[in-house]
Amino acid sequence: MLRQPARAISPRRRRTTACALAIVTVGTGAASAFSPCSVLAGRGRGLSQKSDNPAGLPAAPKGALTDIVIPSVFSGGILEGIDVCEGGAKEDPRVWVPQTDCLSFRPLCFCTSQGYYVNLLRFTGGGILGTHRHPSPVHALTLKGGWGYKEHDWHADAGTYVFEPPGETHTLVVDADCEEMVAMFHVTGALIYVDADSGDVTGYDDVFTKLEKAREWYRKCGLGEDYAEEFIR
């Protein structure tokens, strides 16, 4: 067996290599001290998952990663004193697509080429998004109000970022005393609605069903079906 001759590594490259090794180590959980999310997200598996699931289904399969919950994304005055609407045009309220009496969504991106969508979800007067499963990851950032999942003991307030790992099954519940909750969700793949007791599939949403809902609403409300096209990538 031929052996490659040893090569000298410059000090600069040693530092780069050490940094790369540190990143790999963090990913395996071997050196959690280097992880910026180790305290907020919890170390190990299943820390934020309740042992007793009222829905009758496990929140995540064995071996799945835990949620990442960062409750203070807007700390440090990131938005302090800033009016994000100041000097800007007033948005047409018809851009919000109604799904139920208390739930609507505002499209940000329909990425049909890669199978994901990004939208703002808005609940008014509380509400529940039925039990559903994600085969792919989801990212959420709460902008207003509070919510959580029946199957987890964490709570999301304004400024909270949440990573939902593939395999999650959960039920979104908005705070009962919350007049309005708005959160941005980046959903890859499908959102599969299931029966909370049996786990049987009852429906689904993905980038294409969300796109069709938007097209239908924009046609009905007078914006025109083509209004949805600006969000397609």
Please state, in angstroms and rounded to a whole number, the distance separating the CA atoms of residues 67 and 70. 10
Q: Is-contact 184 141, C-beta < 8 A?
A: yes
User: What is residue 52's DSSP assignment?
Assistant: S
Please indicate, yes or no, whether the overall pTM of this predicted structure exceeds 0.85: no
Q: Quote the number of domains for the chain.
A: 1
Is 53 inside any structural domain?
yes
Is 15 inside any structural domain?
no
Confidence of residue 70 (pLDDT cuts 50, 70, 90): low
Please state, in angstroms and rounded to a whole number, the distance separating the CA atoms of residues 102 and 119. 16
Q: Please tell me the least confidently modeled range out of 9-23, 184-198, 216-230.
A: 9-23
52: domain CATH number is: 2.60.120.10
Average pLDDT over residues 115-132: 90
Burial (CB count within 10 angstroms: exposed 0-12, middle 13-18, buried 19+), residue 196 = buried
Question: Quick one: which H or E segment has residue 103?
Answer: strand 103-111
Is 42 inside any structural domain?
yes
| Chain segment 136-158, per-residue pLDDT in tens | 999 999 999 999 999 999 999 99
Amino acid identity for residue 66 in this structure: T
Please state, in angstroms and rounded to a whole number, the distance separating the CA atoms of residues 112 and 114. 6
pLDDT of residue 69: 72
